[in-house]
Amino acid sequence: MTQARLPRRRFLTRSAVAATGMFAMPSILRAAPARQELHVAAIGVNGMGWSDLSNVGSHASVKFVGFCDIDAARFDKADAAFVGVPHFADYRQLLADLGAKVDAVIVSTPDHMHAPIAMAAMKLGKHVYCQKPLTHTVWESRQMRLLATQKKLTTQMGNQIHSNAEYRQGVRLIQEGVIGKVREVHSWVGVQGRQHCNRTDRPADAPIPKGVNWDLWLGAAPVREFAADVYHPFKWRDWQDFGSGALGDFGCHILDPVFTALEIQAPISIEAANGGTTSEVWPGPETVTFEFPGTKYTLGSTIKVIWRDGGLKPPAELAQLPAGVDLPGAGSLFIGEGGVMVLPHVASPLLYPQEKYADMKLPDVKGTSHWHDWVDAVISGQKTTDGFEYAGPLSETVQLGNIAARLPGTKLQWNTETMAITGHDSAAAMLTKSYRPGFEVEAVV
């Protein structure tokens, strides 16, 4: 399918212009290699935003036309690397003021603002690179996917390890049947809620630092008082109103090669176990069991993918590890008919039992830059492998896990066609949320 194109004027490469003889050019420009310029705006320019914009900006065709951050003190790195780019505090102002000067937008804000910002940009026809998890709710992930498809935009979720050689090797081994059809997958990460686990209160307020626009930081979320060293920066991820807990933080990374390798898309049931949760923060150690319809890479009509975080790991004996070897701190364990594959987060896959795979050479698979892949795809009007058509269902799954996490011990039945959690009204209500006026996300019709 042809994707939305950049404005034609930016497609005229220097060599193409020279060839048409449209106007005389200095010889230095005539000799220069063909270039196409992509005008990018970055929203959230520090933390992961810095990593995103510096990687996107290292592409020779990228020119930044706007930087947006709600914290005036956090532009320093971006400004030092890309001099003279206009600043904005409010993404709505950036989009309104820059208009057609922007071709593409990077969204690297806390999770609760991904959808309001990315949907506003996509409505205007901008291509989007958006951090993981794609969105804060299941419904938002569905809308992001629908709008990207409807507008024929080139999109990419920011789970950059998707494009690493190690994850691609793991995918290749599974799809080549090296361990046979897959019977079950276990995925895990060590982290849990970083410091606010099991908290029920909201910390006392504190003066808002000069330069921080707390109202814009809250954005779509219900108003609450500012508190120092609790939300902004980074620590928001523990709080249900803003972040998505350990599962949201790492699920879109670690479950990504599971989704790609097995070609699974939407679970049919989800059940969580944890030590209890509060209405404010995400739970501590948890296990979430997802059941998916089987695919040509799996054994049986359904397959279980079992997620653990907060220090929980699958039983090591499932991996048939050699003596003295332990499971890595994070990763996935694929249990196949003929052997097992451990795919650490992030390192090359390991195959067991060791004797069986001793002579096995890992496939020579190259990694690429996830950020440059997106830029190249935007310029050439192609799709990426991690566009919202793929990333939407992955993020929906992660956020379904977070609904289950709030109702531990309840097996939820999910119908992806009708977007319904059947027979459980309070779970169904968590598929979406309400928005503060001015930051709404509209349904795609």
Ligand X SMILES: NC(=O)c1ccc[n+]([C@@H]2O[C@H](COP(=O)([O-])OP(=O)(O)OC[C@H]3O[C@@H](n4cnc5c(N)ncnc54)[C@H](O)[C@@H]3O)[C@@H](O)[C@H]2O)c1
Residue ranges binding ligand X (CB under 6 A): 43-49, 68-71, 74, 91, 108-111, 113, 131-132, 158-160, 216-217, 219, 232-234, 249
- The beta-strand segments (E) located in 142-204 are 155-157, 182-188
In order of 20, 75, 78, 82, 250, the CA distances from 47 in angstroms are 45, 11, 11, 16, 16
Residue nearest to ligand X (CB): 47
Question: Which of 110, 331 has the CB closer to ligand X?
Answer: 110
Tokens in use for 148?
A: 């990207």
| Nearest-angstrom CA–CA distance, 428 and 278 | 18
Residue among 227 and 362 whose Cβ is closer to ligand X: 227
What residues pair up with 342 in beta bridges, in sequence order?
333, 350
Query: In whole angstroms, how close is the CB of 63 to ligand X at the nearest point?
Result: 20
Closer to ligand X by Cβ: residue 6 or 197: 197
Six token digits for residue 213: 């626009």
Closer CB to ligand X, residue 94 or residue 407?
94
**Residue nearer to ligand X on the CB measure, 52 or 103:** 52
Short-list 372, 5, 368, CA closest to 156 = 372
CB of residue 17 to ligand X, shortest distance in Å = 36
Q: Is the peptide bond before 133 cis (omega within 30 degrees of 0)?
A: yes
**Neighbour-count burial of 90, counting CB atoms closer than 10 A to its CB (0-12 exposed, 13-18 middle, 19+ buried):** middle
- Token representation of residue 165: 């050689």
Residue pair 355/322 in contact by the 8 Å Cβ criterion? no
Phi, psi of 55 (to 5 degrees): -75, -45
Separation of alpha carbons 78 and 85, rounded Å? 9
Please identify, using beta-carbon distances, which residue of 46 and 277 lies nearer to ligand X. 46
| Least distance in angstroms from the C-beta of 279 to ligand X | 21
Phi, psi of 294, deg, nearest 5: -70, 160
| In the complex, minimum distance from the CB of residue 190 to ligand X, in angstroms, rounded to a whole number | 15
State in angstroms the smallest separation of the CB of 147 from ligand X. 19
**3 state DSSP class of 47:** coil
Give the C-alpha separation, 135 to 395, whole Å.
7
Which CB atom, from 186 or from 232, has the smaller least distance to ligand X?
Answer: 232
Q: Which is nearer to ligand X, 139 or 250 (CB)?
A: 250
Smallest separation (angstroms) from ligand X to the CB of 290: 20
Q: Give least dist CB 16 to ligand X, A.
A: 36
Q: With beta carbons less than 8 A apart as the criterion, state whether 408 and 65 touch.
A: no
Question: Residue 101 CB, nearest distance to ligand X (Å)?
Answer: 18
